[in-house]
Structure 1
Amino acid sequence: MSVGPRVVFLRFLSEESPKLKPWRAHYASVTGKTPETISRDGDGDRGGDRGGSSSESGVVTWHLVSANNRPLGRSGSSFLAFADAVDDAQRAVAACHRLEVVLVAHAVSGRYGWFAIADGAVVITCARWYLTERDRRKSIALATDSLAIAALGAGARSINPALMMSSVRETTTL
């Protein structure tokens, strides 16, 4: 297991997964853009998984976490293939020293956020909104410094709401 910041991959059941919707809403509120699910198998249009079994279907994204698993940033895209998500994370790490950070403020709450672009594309967004400008600046520094030394996870964690809720629905009789 890696010590230090790392990129963790998450696999959602589908584009309609209730667990993916907050990620997409956050992306839209931070960047002002509609989130896309990308397949890079050819011309970049949405398409099928680039190899792999049906057990690997779904939507894969990644996020940057600190050594203590605190989220530092989120991927700028979602992917239909795990390999595409890994490629994107590797490109993000490689681009860490040439990122252009865009500062934003939430239109309603006034909270502070940010996202970073490279080559005209959103690479990473803030993990959450911040109450103060100081917190935003600190999160930018921590995320960009961590991205430069991040290790990539070996697989994708499956985010399946049905599995997560099973312990809540189970009852025990004595």
Structure 2
Amino acid sequence: MSCKPKAVLLDRDGTLVVDVPYNGDPGRVEAIPGVAGVLDGLRAAGLPLGVVTNQSGIARGLITREQVDAVNARVDELLGPFDLWELCPHGPDSGCVCRKPAPGMILNACEQLGLDPSEVAFIGDIGTDVEAAAAAGAIGVLVPTSVTRQEEIDAAPLVATDLASAVNLLTGEGRR
């Protein structure tokens, strides 16, 4: 990347907090170790931060929007404040423009921030995250977890071992 991003967007589950599928219980929210310090460093550098998350459990009837909002509030308590939240409540077959890998949520976030997508980075843990970034014209960084498939890792333009390493890739810290 030739310039540092002017904002960083992040996936929620698997990137910021331990992924608990269809979690509707704020008591089960657990920050991934080291994430809080990285986010604090980004805030100290003056970068706006946003969360972009698919929550198909709402469409599937497994969790309510109120439960998701309560979980997001807990994420804010543990890791926030975030400048914005973008959430897709739709299922995979809805054909919506917001569900990742579609670019809708990233484009909405960029509009709210007053930034061109090329000035924004999106960090996530699965292929649809980096695909959404590419579709929006943003910079995508993959931070694989145990659920990330090898083909997603192979296809990602930028891959980092953890959030701190992803930020270092974006900011040029640690580059020679």
TM-score between the two structures when normalised by the length of structure 2: 0.27
More strand by share: 1
TM-score between the two structures when normalised by the length of structure 1: 0.28
